[in-house]
Chain A
Amino acid sequence: MTERTLRQQVVLITGGSRGIGRAIALRLAYEQPAHMVIGYSMNHQAARRTVNEIQALGVPAFAISTDVGKSELMRDLFDQVRQRCGRLDILISNAARTTFRPSMELDDRSWQRVMDMNARAFLLGSQLAAELMREHGGGRIVGISSLGSRYVAPGYAALGAAKAVMETMARYLAVELAPWGINVNVVCGGFIDTDSMRLAPDYKQLTEYIVNRTPIHRLGKPEDLAGVVAFLCSPDSDWIRGQTLVADGGFSLSL
């Protein structure tokens, strides 16, 4: 795209310092928004590096350390966006965290934590974002989901359930926030090759299995999702509401 679709707009990306969030940040920075805010949890160095990369593209940016699972910190994050940028036009709800356990080993605490950090974070982020967005006639909210919402992957029960909540909430929010001029959609990725995925003990075996079963015959890259997010942040997607777009190279088609 040659036209810059995000001029004058303020973008907030949670979990924006690394991996998929970073790729989304850099892709959206190309659209020259007025300001970009990166939410991150603890990797200060990565956050600083990503902010520098965004600034190198000519876009003012800063990072805020937060915990999307804590309501008061989420409120503080959006307060800071309001104070420092004056508005919010785009929220990318990308931060995700889980504890990989079989369902029988999910105790109260770990279940609640995964729900707080993924499902409630999407709801609360959307609520806080919508309040800011309606002041300037609307905005866009994009959630990042994964195939675990609809298929079984080892140890993925809690996060899969939380992602299913996100996809369902996107439908309700899309209908309920349409009168405010706010568009809500979700991008659902397959296995995406990121730093955190490379830490998996069975990485080599796992990725071989996935590549062999992916019709496009390669692993997903963070950029594969970033392009889809950019589309959902552009006016080209105005008529697309409450949808979950699957970008998985065809992997799930024959599951």
Chain B
Amino acid sequence: MDRLTNRVAIVTGASRGIGAAIALAFAAEGAAVVVNYLSRKEDAETVVAEIQRQGGRAIAFQADVTDESAVRRLVRTAAQQFARIDILIANAGIVRDQLIAAMTLEQWETVIQSHLRGAFLCIREVLPTMMAQKSGNIIALSSIAADHAGRGHANYVAAKGGINALTRSLAVELAPKGIRVNAVSPGVILTDMTKRVRNLANDEILAQIPLRRFGEPRDVARAVCFLASDEASYITGEVLHVTGGFGL
């Protein structure tokens, strides 16, 4: 496991769930990892401790990805601590599910902002470093929900659709700088975020997944590792579905 030796990665929203799994998988591949979190300091420190226990390098760093100056501090800290930035995983994001007729402006905006504004700010902030290196790798977390309609989370679906479009356009814009941009689109993964929907419709969802189980965060992390590795060096602008066949 040494596909990311000497690489430096920032993973946003990495205190738990898919973000934490990506941070751990990156460290196992040899990367130094900045474990970003919003409020779950203890969880983030647990991820860092686990990485260090296995001989890896990691730091936890609090930053709200929708806050421009906080994102600046996050990226500056990463660059100072580890001397470069090779990989950005734009993973942080929240859900505020509601039927559209009842959705408040606050529910709409907090979701759109956490995913889209967050991705924009983090990407823009790492670019000077990646451009100076003439190499970089950006992977955004999308969702199968962007392609397969469901009720009650139009804000989230719109945000993830935006992530897919952002991925494709930035891939074209940043390729000349040696920077690849891709997205990973998970199906229903066993995380806190999907707990509510799994409680509501567990069997109904399982029946639609050919592998008859929910995904584990590490199932997604392994696909992210591939996209971050040199084996994917000719892949850019791709939205890779990691769904166990859900949505086919």
A-to-B contact residues, CB < 8 Å: 1-3, 171, 174-175, 178-179, 214-217, 220-221, 224-225, 227-228, 230-231, 235-243, 245-250, 253-254
Contact = CB atoms under 8 A, between A and B. Distances in A.
9 contacts: A2-B1, A174-B245, A215-B176, A225-B234, A239-B222, A240-B240, A243-B240, A245-B235, A246-B235
B2 interface: yes
Contacts of A237: 222-223, 226
B102 to A, nearest CB: 34
Nearest to B25: A236
Nearest to B178: A216
A-B pairs, top 5 by smallest CB distance, nearest first, are: A215-B175, A227-B231, A239-B219, A224-B234, A241-B245
Contact of A174 (B220, B222, B223, B248): B248
Interface in B218-232: 219-220, 222-223, 225-226, 230-232
Interface string B195-207: 0000000000000
Nearest to B238: A246
B242 A240 contact: yes
A248 B238 CA distance: 9
Contacts of A254: 172
Contacts of B187: 239
Contact of A239 (B2, B233, B242): B242
Contacts of A248: 234
B152 to A, nearest CB: 25
B96 to A, nearest CB: 27
Which of A175, A235, A246, A250 has the largest count of B CB atoms less than 10 A from its CB? A250
A229 B93 CA distance: 31
Contacts of A242: 210, 245, 248
Interface residues of B, number: 37
B237 to A, nearest CB: 4
Contacts of A1: 1, 3
A246 B239 CA distance: 9
Given A217-B175, A241-B210, A241-B245, A250 B236 contact: yes
A216 B238 contact: no
A228 B223 contact: no
A236 B3 contact: no
Contacts of B211: 178, 239, 241
B215 interface: yes
Nearest to A231: B226
B241 A240 contact: yes
Contact of A215 (B171, B210, B241): B171
A228 B232 contact: yes
B137 interface: no
B248 A171 contact: yes
B230 A227 contact: yes
B140 to A, nearest CB: 15
B141 to A, nearest CB: 14
A250 B248 contact: no
B15 interface: no
A223 B222 CA distance: 21
Nearest to B239: A246
A245 B183 CA distance: 12
B72 interface: no
B70 to A, nearest CB: 31
B168 interface: yes
B118 interface: no
Nearest to B174: A215
B243 interface: yes
Given A2-B1, A175-B210, A243-B240, A238 B168 contact: no
Given A216-B180, A227-B230, A228-B232, 6 more contacts: A175-B210, A221-B234, A236-B222, A242-B210, A245-B235, A246-B235
Contacts of B3: 1
Contacts of A175: 210, 245, 248
B244 interface: yes
Given A171-B248, A236-B223, A236-B226, A227 B240 contact: no
Contact of A227 (B212, B215, B219, B232): B232
Given A2-B1, A215-B172, A241 B237 contact: no
A250 B177 CA distance: 13
A225 B235 CA distance: 9
B167 to A, nearest CB: 9
Nearest to A181: B211
